[in-house]
A and B are shown apart, each in its own frame.
Chain A
């Protein structure tokens, strides 16, 4: 009787201990992920710009001066211009790229044609080449033809490459039952109508997912703009922020926070969609 009670107390204590441990780990993990972000956010509100004037991790005095300077002191670092460039490139390639990816994925999922399997295999092989390879060639050729320093060039390259990653979207279209299509076909709808009238309205989640991913990629890419944009006024934010050194740390922090916040908010609104889309694409390959 006594041993029985002791045992149950032991289990009870063990569970509390277990729960306690779990929460300690949770706190540690959260701290690990949150701390660098907090550090940047606080740094963006520091009064002095240089990292050397900080006391350990945190600034000595706080003010909004960095944000003000970010948008007014544009002689050396024209942040507002960079921001507009980035927005232009990201929005342009988002719209064009999504259009192309959705069309490609839909056709690959719904149509049987001779070139289908070879095309799927080709894209798989192509994706194994380092993406850098193409970029270097584009860089060589663009310098040969004097085509660097054009923002639309970036849009073209981003959106033209987008259909290469159609697999997630194809996985989604595979899950929409084809019976509806066939019914509509019997009623005399053309394939074009089946796509626009039936499947497009059903695929809103995947369109949102595609829009988001094809917006964030150019928004945070640094390799291509670094290669193709040599003029300071044409920089995107990523390239611009890379050119800041330790004495401009607060400006860097402010610029980063300002460009990260919209993206982070978008992700939080859409994280459920993302998980579903990723899981669906993963299971079906």
Chain B
């Protein structure tokens, strides 16, 4: 850090007057060096940003901190402050400020480079040549501009917005035209200690962890089992047998889930069979069906995700080194031993990243219980049921009941859990460390 600062200082010392001009007026130095087009562009950029800040930028940044001071009143016809829009505009103003700083630094380093080139007696590229570079040496800038902009607007900004929301009291009765305020860590405190939310949170979190571990393990073992089964020498017509899991894989998940809901519903076929056999109908997914509903969820999820793991494992198994097995056979290793000592380590090694993805996917598996038991609110739970995962609770709270700030706080908690688990595994995984060996 200190070295960097010293370098900047020394650069400033031997900079020419033109560079100093660029420090004040962006593009000024470039203009005097003869790069007229670029100079004008930089200058226009500076003008427009300053114009933006004078007309509304400063007010937006102020609004970011106050989140509105004047409450609207429909009866008196007073148009009050809309806190949500103020927050959004505030974020936007910060982004513009950051962009301005970025371009400012770019402007200075550009003009400094021009000065150095002239001092060494070289010619500076013309504006046209620099634009041409965008298709060649700097092709990546051209190409990445659009995707980065898209991801920024539709992924990064919403995430920033939601993180900020977690520290406000937005939601419940506090929605515009009411004024929203910053409340610090109050939402997290509410979730972890208040008797209204804390028991629900703890119960759902325990179940969520249990669910993620069991369902990932179940799907993984089942998928591997299927792949090994289809690989057996005595199986004729492998493609034919594989058709059925692929059928399950290709069917859109919402269809499968809805179909299973119908299958286990009160008037569904299973209950009809029970009734005609002389029994009484069972509410598999009803209010009091805690463990049957959970079990059905596990099995249904297994039905949906096993085939994809099977396909993946099949692809990986086909890269196996068969000489290892011959050697093991000669050494007298049985089938089980071969499976445990050769196949499993190999497959585990290759599928570790997938296993993390699966775990994260299952931890945030919204669909299964949304379809099977969506919209149930049980006693002892705050706007949730005993099969709901954190992500379902998040949905119930923020979409169905407008508790946005609590939803945001839960999202952050989910993020923290997921990132700790996956970073721990990911950094240790060989495929992360050896990223560059394949290039």
Contact = CB atoms under 8 A, between A and B. Distances in A.
B412 to A, nearest CB: 8
A70 to B, nearest CB: 15
Interface of B: 82, 84-85, 88, 135-137, 139-140, 143-144, 146-148, 150-151, 153-159, 161-162, 165, 176, 226, 229, 232, 234-235, 241, 243-256, 258-260, 262-263, 265, 267-269, 272-273, 276, 303, 307-308, 311-312, 314-316, 319, 350-351, 353-354, 360, 364, 366-367, 371, 391, 394-395, 398-399, 404, 407-408, 411, 414-415, 418-419, 422, 426, 429, 431-432, 435, 438-439
Nearest to A185: B136
Contact of A160 (B151, B267, B303): B151
B161 to A, nearest CB: 5
A34 B415 CA distance: 37
A88 interface: no
Contact of B144 (A58, A107, A174, A263): A107
Contacts of B254: 220, 222, 238, 241-242
Please classify the interface of chain A as helix (H, G, I), strand (E, B), loop, or mixed, using the class held by over half of its residues. helix
Interface stretch (A4-12, A36-44, A202-210): A36-44
B255 A276 contact: no
A64 interface: no
Interface in A151-203: 156-157, 159-161, 163-164, 171, 174-175, 178, 190-192, 195
26 contacts: A19-B234, A29-B244, A33-B303, A36-B259, A52-B267, A103-B146, A130-B391, A136-B408, A137-B161, A138-B154, A139-B399, A144-B85, A159-B150, A163-B151, A192-B135, A216-B252, A256-B255, A256-B259, A264-B247, A267-B246, A267-B250, A268-B246, A275-B314, A283-B350, A283-B431, A285-B435
Contacts of B150: 100, 159-161, 163
B192 to A, nearest CB: 19
Contacts of B303: 32-33, 36
A191 B259 contact: no
Given A136-B162, A140-B404, A223-B366, A160 B268 contact: no
A26 interface: yes
Contacts of B252: 216, 219-220, 238, 259-260, 263
Contacts, number: 265
B342 to A, nearest CB: 18
A163 to B, nearest CB: 4
B251 A264 contact: yes
B159 A133 contact: yes
A252 B258 CA distance: 9
B154 A160 contact: yes
Interface of A: 15, 18-19, 22-23, 25-26, 29-30, 32-34, 36-37, 39-40, 51-52, 54-58, 100-101, 103-104, 106-107, 109, 111, 113, 119, 123-126, 128-141, 144, 156-157, 159-161, 163-164, 171, 174-175, 178, 190-192, 195, 216, 219-220, 222-223, 227, 238, 241-242, 246, 249, 252-253, 256, 259-260, 263-264, 266-268, 271, 274-276, 278-279, 282-285
A33 B247 contact: yes
Contacts of A171: 438
Nearest to B253: A220
B239 to A, nearest CB: 9
A284 B391 contact: no
B406 to A, nearest CB: 11
Contact of A51 (B256, B268, B319): B268
A107 B140 contact: yes
A128 B360 contact: yes
Contact of B316 (A23, A137, A279): A279
Contacts of B226: 29
A259 B255 contact: yes
A274 B247 CA distance: 14
A239 to B, nearest CB: 9
